[in-house]
Amino acid sequence: MAKCAKRQIAHLDGYVAALSETDRALVNRIYHVQTAVGGLAVPPSMQAWVESTFGDLGAVRTQHVVKVTNLITMEGALFNPLRGVRPIDLWPEVDVCAAIEQTRGGPFCHPESLTPEDIFAEGLPGRVRGKYCITASNIAKYDGYHGLVIFDEHNPLEISSERVRDYIDTALRWAKRAHNADRSAKYFFLMWNCLWKGGASIVHGHMQVALGRGMHYARVEHWRRQALLYRLAHGENYFDDLYRVHEALGLATTIGETRAVVSLTPVKEKEILLISPTCWIDNDDCKEALGSILQTYTGAMGVQSFNLALYQRPIDVAEEDWDGFPAVVRLVDRGDLNVRTTDVGCMELYGSSVITTDPFDVIDAIRSQRDPLA
Ligand SMILES: [Zn+2]
How far is residue 332's CA from residue 75's CA, in Å, rounded to a whole number? 15
Cα 247 to ligand 1 centre (Å): 41
Compute how many other C-beta atoms are within 10 angstroms of the C-beta atom of residue 373.
4
Cα 204 to ligand 1 centre (Å): 4
Residue pair 289/255 in contact (Cβ under 8 Å)? The answer is yes
What's the mean pLDDT when you consider all of the chain? 93
For residue 12, what pLDDT band results from cuts at 50, 70 and 90?
very high
* Percentage of residues in the chain having pLDDT higher than 70: 97
Cα 104 to ligand 1 centre (Å): 4
Cα 108 to ligand 1 centre (Å): 5
The pair phi, psi for residue 64, each rounded to 5°, is: -105, 120
For residue 293, what pLDDT band results from cuts at 50, 70 and 90?
very high
User: Where do runs of H (alpha helix) occur along 146-276?
Assistant: 161-181, 218-234, 238-248
Cα 344 to ligand 1 centre (Å): 28
Q: What is the pLDDT of residue 361?
A: 96
Strands of 41-169, DSSP E: 62-70, 76-79, 118-121, 124-126, 133-137, 145-151
Q: What is the pLDDT of residue 125?
A: 86
Cα 152 to ligand 1 centre (Å): 8
The model carries a pTM of 0.94
SS3 content of the chain, % helix, strand, coil (to 5): 35, 25, 40
Residue 90 pLDDT more than 70?
no
How far is residue 309's CA from residue 281's CA, in Å, rounded to a whole number? 12
Cα 186 to ligand 1 centre (Å): 31
Q: Which helix (H) or strand (E) holds 33?
A: strand 31-39
Query: Quick one: how many helices (H) and strands (E) in the chain?
Result: 12, 15
Residue 55 pLDDT more than 90?
no
β-pairing, 353-355 vs 76-79, is parallel
Cα 332 to ligand 1 centre (Å): 24
Cα 282 to ligand 1 centre (Å): 28
Residues 320-324: what's their mean pLDDT? 95
Cα 205 to ligand 1 centre (Å): 7
